[in-house]
Homo-oligomer: A and B are copies of this chain.
Amino acid sequence: MNINISDESCPLRKTLEIIGGKWTMLIIFQINERTIRYGELKRCIVGISEKMLISQLKFLCDKGFVHKKSFAEIPPKVEYTLTDMGKELLPLINQIIQFGINHKF
């Protein structure tokens, strides 16, 4: 297959922009099949800063991998779920984790 990663529409490049980041993949993996509130998600992802989590969630929502639902409550309540496209990444992420478990490198 001819892959030109310098081309913005390259399918490998596009997908790497989503799954190649340290945090995006982990956020998708932690949301997984559940509906999760912002605070709980933050607690699940050790070491992520508030600023990074918010910006990565916005990126994933904009790209259509994560759905955000805000409730008009005080204090504000925000919930995240994966979209169908986001859920399709889960088997891929599981394989990536499995590869890391199975191999020493």
Residues of A within 8 A of B (CB): 1, 3-6, 10-16, 18-23, 25-26, 29-30, 45-47, 63-65, 85, 88-89, 92-93, 95-101, 103, 105
Q: Give A102 Cβ to nearest chain B Cβ, in Å.
A: 8
Q: Give A23 Cβ to nearest chain B Cβ, in Å.
A: 8
- Are A46 and B85 in touch, CB under 8 angstroms? no
State how many copies of this chain the complex holds: 2
Contacts known (A20-B19, A92-B92, A103-B85); A26 close to B47, Cβ less than 8 A: no
Contacts known (A64-B105, A85-B103); A97 close to B18, Cβ less than 8 A: no
List, in ascending order, chain B residues with CB within 8 A of A101's CB. 11
